Structure 1
Amino acid sequence: MIQQSELVKKAIFLLKNLIETPSFSSEEDNTATLIENWFKDFSIPYTRTINNVWAVNKHFSENKPTLLLNTHHDTVKPNSAYTKDPFKAIEEDGKLYGLGSNDAGGCLVSLLATFIHFYDKENLNYNLVIVVSAEEESSGPNGLNSMLKIIPKIDVAIVGEPTLMQLAIAEKGLVVCDAKVKGSPSHAAHPNTDNAIYNTIEVLQWFQNYQFEKKSAVVGDVKMTVTQINAGKQHNAVPAEVELVIDVRVNDKYSNAEIVEILKKEAPCSSIEPRSLRLNSSSIPISHPLVEAGIALGRKTYGSPTLSDQTCLSCPSLKLGPGDSTRSHTADEFIYLAEIEEGIAIYIQLLEKTL
């Protein structure tokens, strides 16, 4: 059996290669090949489906529940504020710099190392499936969502995102709505008591002040924000309608469909329509063995405000990983090398208590 210290070295080596291999969403071909090579190096059978790479443990049994280990290997594009080369793995003062190092490269290599640790163990309580998925950053059609009909049925999941190895037991969902406020078009020089722009004032106040009834002790209230407004094409014409975009961050007490039903019934708009209902909130009971095992290891629970591939899953899921979410998508992104070592150790300890 490979030693944990050796797994850490191999994981960091892989992460450096991943950093130096561009992998924007839907352009992850080359990093998918690196992940394939990881499985080949350990002589583990795997499958590549487009740019998703996945495998199951050696003693997989149809009679056992299945635990998914998931994270992603795509990245956003680097922003203009970088002072270091985003595609060069740079070690400085215990940090590893590079695009995707924190989000979610550290989680990726830590979960791969954890899977290797448990791959050939017998008599586990759960099967293990690992999916290193594509298109997470863009919520694309060929990511984890496309894999759920291909991989074995999942009963519970650990989704690797940077949480400082604390237990994110709930995650807010997202539904974006397009709304319209109508009025009577007219020449600006003539009286008009049904000006669509003026009518929007009351509507904006409604969105600003409305509170959804169900509150979550973990992720807080549903947060609704008007983020875009558009109307009119010329200075001397009152438009017939105003278009609004509303960003709704949904807590774990509602489905996106329920949120839209409430808005259609109560929002004082001429119309309101969701762009998508699929980015639902997610959670795992605090009494679940995975969470209890994490708490026993001294980990704290919290609710996450950020989206991940948990939105694809209908089963209980726990967000957990090395790195810090506040570093994600920032200039000169980095992860501490010690965080990767800790991440692998805690993942293994957590699963030893569960599997």
Structure 2
Amino acid sequence: MSESVSGVSTGQARDLLVSLVETPSPTGEEEECAEQLVEFFETHGREATIDEAGNVRAPADDSLLLTSHIDTVPGEIPVWVEEEGSEEVLWGRGSVDATGPLAAMAVAAVRTGVSFAGVVGEETDSEGARHLVATRESPGTVVNGEPSGWDGVTFGYRGLLAGTYVATSESGHTSRPENNAIEDAMEWWHRVGTAVADDDEEWTPVFERVTPKATAIAGGVSDDGLSVEATMDVQLRVPPGLTTDEVREMADGELDGGTVRWHDEVSPVMTSPRTPLASAFRAAIREAGGEPRSLRKTGTSDMNVYRAWDCPMVTYGPGDSDLDHAPDERLSLIEFERSIGVLETVAERLAEDE
């Protein structure tokens, strides 16, 4: 890669990445990083603003929108650059998920003149992405920033259905055989797991299955001593072969006492690997010396929200997704720079095809 392209040198790209990683940005505390991004764009001759939701918007050539999330999960990891063999590796919270992709996209957007958005709240409810979809027109194509490895491109994510189950039962001596609310909660969740299980689970990829996960449970005798109460937070991941409505009906159908309030719902997404955007990525990765990998992720991302735009899209970014949220989160700086080059080549190829 050349030392300076369109006013952003390799050193400046690294400086942006390190500065963003050094600045804590857990969900709800993204403002300082957002201001750094605005300053970066303005320094390089691009207009950028922070919208009502806290997103950074740098509009330009809207045939391509590069977007990633500013927030990270909580957790402090000392930020430093380590020599690993012939590579330099940046340690720090967010270096992989998704500050590395975010910084790569900001640099590529400046160098190529395409649109950019840094969004907030992805790690919780995708508030920033939802606001973006609601307040701007669809771009021509979208590249969402999440770690895929510099030679990987993600085409699909499962959806999410999240809710809270609540049950109450009369208090009584623990020797009584009847279920109390805590047992009702556990039995309901067991029935849900059975209802959504795949008959050929041993052979069915996780991406194609519904997977239930209880994330929190609390219960016990009420303060007045007259009842037993139970609360359970649950999530179900939804494959593209099903809708969230269908999975919710399965779970509701297993209720026998107790109620459940579904408070978060994100549809699954699977995009075509046969679009000009996908072809541009495969060509760009090969041009950089890699062999393209097509990925499907078992989690959920802002790409699930962006499907509302109904335009070609993929998810891409440097980093090993196995290090997402991990205590040893770290990113190869060579991989970071390669991903910028791939993004630039993709933008150039799409412009040629117009």
Name the stretch that deviates more: 49-58 or 169-178. Answer: 49-58
TM-score, normalised with respect to structure 2: 0.80
| Residue 15 (structure 2) pairs with residue 19 (structure 1) | no
For the 8 Å contact 1:170–1:304, the answer to whether it is kept is yes
Which residue matches 1:285?
Answer: 272
For the 8 Å contact 1:186–1:192, the answer to whether it is kept is no
Question: How far did residue 38 of structure 1 move?
Answer: 1.3
For the 8 Å contact 1:108–1:132, the answer to whether it is kept is yes
Which residue matches 2:58?
Answer: 55
- Tell me the secondary structure at the aligned position of residue 34 of structure 2: helix
Question: How far did residue 276 of structure 1 move?
Answer: 1.9
Which residue matches 2:81?
Answer: 90
Instruction: Specify the code of the residue in structure 2 equivalent to 1:13.
Output: D
Instruction: Specify the code of the residue in structure 1 equivalent to 2:49.
Output: T
The percentage of aligned residue pairs carrying the same residue is: 23
Question: How far did residue 304 of structure 1 move?
Answer: 0.8
Question: How far did residue 208 of structure 1 move?
Answer: 2.9
**How many equivalent pairs are there?**
332
* 1:38-78 deviation digits (Å, cap 9, x = unpaired): 111221122221432112225x5xxxxx4321112222222
Segments of 5+ residues of structure 2 without an aligned counterpart are none
Which residue matches 2:332?
Answer: 336
CA RMSD of aligned residues (A): 3.3
For the 8 Å contact 2:159–2:244, the answer to whether it is kept is yes
Distance change >3 Å, CA 340–CA 274, structure 1 → 2? same
Question: How far did residue 150 of structure 1 move?
Answer: 2.9
Separation of aligned partners in 2, 1:293 and 1:212: 38
Which residue matches 2:42?
Answer: 40
Question: How far did residue 206 of structure 1 move?
Answer: 1.5
- Tell me the secondary structure at the aligned position of residue 102 of structure 1: coil
Instruction: Specify the code of the residue in structure 2 equivalent to 1:179.
Output: Y
| Residue 108 (structure 2) pairs with residue 114 (structure 1) | yes
Instruction: Specify the code of the residue in structure 2 equivalent to 1:342.
Output: R
| Residue 73 (structure 2) pairs with residue 76 (structure 1) | yes
Segments of 5+ residues of structure 1 without an aligned counterpart are 61-65, 120-127
Name the stretch that deviates more: 196-205 or 296-305. Answer: 196-205
Question: How far did residue 191 of structure 1 move?
Answer: 4.7
For the 8 Å contact 1:69–1:129, the answer to whether it is kept is yes
Which residue matches 1:352?
Answer: 348
For the 8 Å contact 1:75–1:103, the answer to whether it is kept is yes
Which residue matches 1:122?
Answer: none
Please point out which of 305, 312, 317 is paired with 1:312.
Answer: 305
| Residue 158 (structure 2) pairs with residue 172 (structure 1) | yes
Larger strand fraction of residues: 2
Please point out which of 190, 196, 211 is paired with 1:211.
Answer: 196
| Residue 304 (structure 2) pairs with residue 302 (structure 1) | no
Separation of aligned partners in 1, 2:16 and 2:111: 16
Separation of aligned partners in 2, 1:238 and 1:272: 22
Which residue matches 1:103?
Answer: 97
* 1:155-184 deviation digits (Å, cap 9, x = unpaired): 54211111113111111222112234565x
Please point out which of 249, 260, 264 is paired with 2:248.
Answer: 260
Which residue matches 1:63?
Answer: none
Separation of aligned partners in 1, 2:175 and 2:24: 58
For the 8 Å contact 2:25–2:33, the answer to whether it is kept is yes
Separation of aligned partners in 1, 2:116 and 2:243: 27
Separation of aligned partners in 2, 1:44 and 1:116: 7
Separation of aligned partners in 2, 1:321 and 1:163: 5
